[in-house]
Amino acid sequence: MFFWIYDVPSTTLALMITGAFVGFSWIGAVFIRPILRAFLRKRADINDLIGYMLSCFGVFYGLLLGLLAVAAYQNFSNVETIVSKEASTLSALARDVSAYPEPDRTNLIWLLRDYTRYVVHYAWPSQQKGIIPQEGNTRMIAFHEQLIRFEPRSPGQEILHAEALRQFNNYLEARRMRLFSVTTSIPGVMWAVVLVGALMNIALIWMFDMKLTNHLFLGGILSAFMGLMIFLIASLDNPFRGELSISPAPFQDILTHLMEE
């Protein structure tokens, strides 16, 4: 339900999330803090007690945010590696079929060019919307049928054909891994825990006995940092979505090369 955030530029999204957290903290400090303070007895060590609770809570919540940030970055990096591997395998496959005799060479190159153009101009925009593209299967089947129809006429062509088939199978595996990664993301229950934890963290700050200006300043700083952390995790959570998503540049380079064939 929050996928619309990936249609917003990164700078604007960071300001929106940070501003929402800071604004919530400030509104609560003005309107909710007096209500919470009414449930706490006036005692000299109330700030020490709240500070101890906040420090204990902050350790666990900080670990949660840190682990999620690392997990999101590792997932983003793994998907980027998968895309690079897929592009490299496709490039090797194009290099192999370019050594085929005519007319098989022209037909195979044309099919690869058509498929790569589809990936760049049609499949990638679908992935950026969280949709797993399926039309590429038809193009891959057509390429495979054309490839297996080739009959080697010399030992050299047999070796070349076997290598092309191997590269084609490797590419299918890399492509399948990319498609599986389109919908990968942090589970919704973990996002719920993060948001609830942020609200509890801010609520503990409201309970401090201090001047309102101090509340606004200290609460604003802590809320802004939490907002930035959540922005970072959200930006990396879906590798194919948003302004910081993985680009089809490797496939674009292959398409440019195939257009010259």
* Rounded CA separation 87/136 (Å): 15
pLDDT in tens, 48-87: 888 888 888 888 999 999 999 999 999 999 999 999 999 9
Helices H / strands E in the chain, number of each: 10, 0
pLDDT at 92: 93
Inter-residue contact 81 to 73 (CB < 8 Å): no
* Rounded CA separation 179/168 (Å): 16
pLDDT at 259: 74
pLDDT at 207: 86
Inter-residue contact 101 to 243 (CB < 8 Å): no
HSE-up of 235 (CA within 13 Å, CB side)?
A: 16
What are the start-end ranges of the H helices in 46-154? Answer: 46-97, 104-118, 124-127, 136-148
Exposed/middle/buried for residue 58 (C-beta within 10 Å: 0-12, 13-18, 19+): middle
Which residues 6+ apart lie within 8 Å of 44 measured at CB? none
Which residues 6+ apart lie within 8 Å of 260 measured at CB? none
CB atoms within 10 A of CB 212: 12
Residue 261: pLDDT above 70?
A: no
Q: What average pLDDT does this structure show over 91-104?
A: 92
Residue 233: pLDDT above 90?
A: yes
Inter-residue contact 51 to 218 (CB < 8 Å): no
pLDDT in tens, 137-196: 999 999 999 999 999 989 989 999 999 999 999 999 999 999 999 988 888 899 999 999
pLDDT at 35: 81
Query: Would you call 131 helix, strand, or coil by DSSP?
Result: coil
Sign of CA dihedral 183, 235, 66, 192: negative
Residue 40: pLDDT above 90?
A: no
pLDDT bucket at 260, cuts 50 / 70 / 90: low
